[in-house]
Chain A
């Protein structure tokens, strides 16, 4: 398959996954702000802080409010990292390879953009947090649909593999960032007794609340949350779960120059497979996750070199 085609498929999937994870991140901020009246501005400020776009926000909206941060991060095309901008990027990548994906995949991703744009235009005009949170739910639902239609209709050839590769690399990256930010933010300020709500909100945002209950049958502690999100192999959004897929897919698409890339993915995968949470916490979660994210950046750029359009 054409390298450029593989590149578009990979980014199409990455942007869809990114839109979903951005919705999850905003959702967690929203839940926490509801549970801790008084501290909500801190949560929204932190959500904005992740993007590094506070000056753009302040210039356009002024003081931080929940509704405006949500608006800026979800539906504002002036923000290049907003969910809507991300949905547009996904659609543009899909448009460039519409002959390679099934018509159902193209229709789904195109419709997501068309409907997302129209409803975003409404939400730019005004409205409160509640209406904007509906948008987050809708984005997650559309992401499920995109992934489902990809798995359910595409031939499992290279096109499929590169789209899946994009999905899992992006998800690993996003889960690591979410954990890093939230642990940093939560650990110092969670007052005893509030743990249940705070960590509960984090787990819910990654659809892991019920899973946690099922797996641990015990109270929620940060150590177990980290273990679940990093090391649990059957957890679809954990780092382990994602790297298992990445390593396997790199085996399927291997070419004559990609063996070092696969080795790197294999090394990262083994560390997750045989790692222990106590060792990770001893190093420090922040440092561990920073190293992990650096490793993912190297892996992504090697994948671009070996198969796709090299990043300039």
Chain B
């Protein structure tokens, strides 16, 4: 790999200023103490059951997401820029969704080709003309950000993707902080770290702000597919932290154009659903008929404005990888502002000239399915064998519309405990952006780390770990 930006160590071995106090602490702390604390973290995560179910070979088993004790530290001024850029981007994406599901100006003005929107599998015609409260669709957005080295030795933040459906991971952000404070309280006296523990409060407040008009004291619930879902820990955790019910589809029913939950004291009205299941499964009468996870008739209550879904139905049309290249244009179009955050240059295989470039340069590129998520269905050219590249080329040729490609970014790296000691590993960042009456977020987000040497895939389903993320207050 070309030059890699190390978050902690500058070229030549000097420690970057915002890591110097951490480096001092590391030098003073006996390795045996750190080893003992790392073991303590593992056993605590197991006992709390902070685990992740994995699809595929080990189906049904729960696994820990490895936690690394070296924090990812972001200086105050860097975060300020990121925060402004994120708020701008999420505002534009919400404006786009509102536009697409009402007057469709951006298509009529020719900025985005109509077929890119209306032929997209994530576009939901059922949402056309539905009034959602405050015109907010993506109440919770998880925007993946990476930092890549520039030729001059500096580095720049890029938005890699916008997750506007049911982004997960925020519970790890909160648990990682709690774990760091428990294991190494002395570190927090050396640094002034911006707190993140109020995230559940912000989330509950956001959900209450978007309740149907006229509801005084809205009843909020978290809707989960159930205890066997890979992110179930997070669903239960957020419901508990917000003090609201964690419901499954079978706990809910529609009566008289109103949504109710079954309780020990009889039916109780529900006003806001923070749903952690996909659009397709929400209502068997409207979407997939075989879904046992949803609630029959929910869509009709939603249409009449008597319940709020967060996120709204049909947000996937805005975070789809084929729409991603247009986000900077959306920002200019809806907000009349210049984008504050960079997009990664993207080749759209549906365009002939870009396709031929992609096919010819595949071993240098990252190729992704436009509808893929979670690190599945992608090719990292430089890390693949010739056969894998050739196989993928056949797939792209067969259905070019389904793929985009990007240059392989040299993701920044952060020192991480691995078997052989401390070594740099690639990281990304997922801040969680909340939109209700205003846009808010907890400082930082979830830092994911690719634990395999040289790997650029940070997804937990692909063996990634997490780190505590520190935004410095000064």
Interface residues of A (CB under 8 A from B): 1-6, 92, 95-100, 103, 106-107, 110-111, 114, 158, 162, 253, 255-256, 307-308
Contacts and interface: CB of A to CB of B under 8 A. Distances in A.
A2 B240 contact: no
A308 B264 CA distance: 7
Given A1-B264, A158-B264, A256-B266, A103 B248 contact: no
B49 interface: yes
A95 B263 CA distance: 19
Nearest to A101: B240
Interface string B324-353: 000000000000000000000000000000
11 contacts: A1-B263, A2-B245, A4-B248, A95-B49, A95-B232, A97-B246, A98-B49, A100-B246, A106-B48, A107-B49, A110-B47
Contacts of A92: 227
Nearest to A98: B236
Closest 3 CB pairs of A and B: A99-B240, A99-B236, A3-B262
B266 A107 contact: no
B61 interface: no
Contacts of B232: 95
Interface string B219-262: 00000001100001000110110000111101100000000011
Contact of A307 (B239, B250, B264): B264
A97 B239 CA distance: 10
B189 interface: no
B81 interface: no
Given A4-B251, A107-B47, A107-B48, A255 B239 contact: no
B251 A95 contact: no
Contact of A2 (B46, B237, B247): B247
Contact of A255 (B237, B246, B264): B264
Contacts of A4: 247-248, 250-251, 262
Contacts of A2: 245, 247, 251, 261-264
A1 B251 CA distance: 11
A3 B263 contact: yes
A49 B61 CA distance: 34
- Most chain B C-beta atoms within 10 Å of own C-beta, residue among A99, A111, A255, A307: A99
A287 B73 CA distance: 73
Nearest to A256: B266
A6 B239 contact: no
A162 B46 CA distance: 27
A95 B264 contact: no
B264 A99 contact: no
A99 B237 contact: yes
A252 B11 CA distance: 68
B237 to A, nearest CB: 7
Nearest to A108: B47
A106 B50 CA distance: 11
Contacts of B237: 99
A256 B251 CA distance: 19
Give the secondary structure class of B's interface.
mixed
B265 interface: yes
A54 to B, nearest CB: 30
Interface of B: 46-49, 226-227, 232, 236-237, 239-240, 245-248, 250-251, 261-266
Given A5-B245, A99-B239, A255 B47 contact: no
Given A100-B240, A110-B49, A6 B227 contact: no
A17 B246 CA distance: 26
Nearest to B226: A96
A107 B245 CA distance: 20
Contacts of A1: 245, 263-265
A167 B41 CA distance: 33
Contacts of B47: 107, 110-111
A247 to B, nearest CB: 18
A92 B248 CA distance: 16
A110 B62 CA distance: 13
A164 to B, nearest CB: 14
Given A2-B262, A96-B226, A107-B49, 14 more contacts: A1-B263, A1-B264, A2-B245, A2-B247, A2-B261, A3-B264, A4-B247, A4-B251, A95-B49, A95-B232, A99-B236, A99-B237, A100-B246, A255-B265
Given A5-B245, A110-B47, A95 B227 contact: yes
Contacts of B48: 103, 106-107
A4 B266 CA distance: 12
B264 A96 contact: no
A158 B246 CA distance: 16
A175 B202 CA distance: 50
Contacts of B250: 4
A158 B245 CA distance: 13
A253 B264 contact: yes
Contacts of B226: 96
A99 to B, nearest CB: 3
Nearest to A113: B49
Nearest to B262: A3
A111 B227 CA distance: 18
Contacts of B261: 2
Of A1, A2, A158, A162, most buried by chain B (CB within 10 Å of CB) is A2
A104 to B, nearest CB: 10
A255 B266 contact: yes
A28 B264 CA distance: 39
Contacts of B262: 2-4
Nearest to B241: A99
Nearest to A110: B49
A114 B251 contact: no
Nearest to B248: A4
B44 to A, nearest CB: 9
A82 B420 CA distance: 44
Contacts of B239: 99
A4 B227 CA distance: 13
A256 B263 CA distance: 12
A110 B49 CA distance: 8
Interface centre among B232, B236, B266 (most CB of A within 10 A): B236
Contacts of B247: 2, 4
Contacts of A255: 264-266
B264 A114 contact: no
A145 to B, nearest CB: 14
B163 to A, nearest CB: 23
Given A4-B250, A96-B227, A99-B236, A106 B49 contact: yes
Contacts of A95: 49, 227, 232
A98 B251 CA distance: 17
Given A92-B227, A95-B227, A100-B240, A6 B49 contact: no
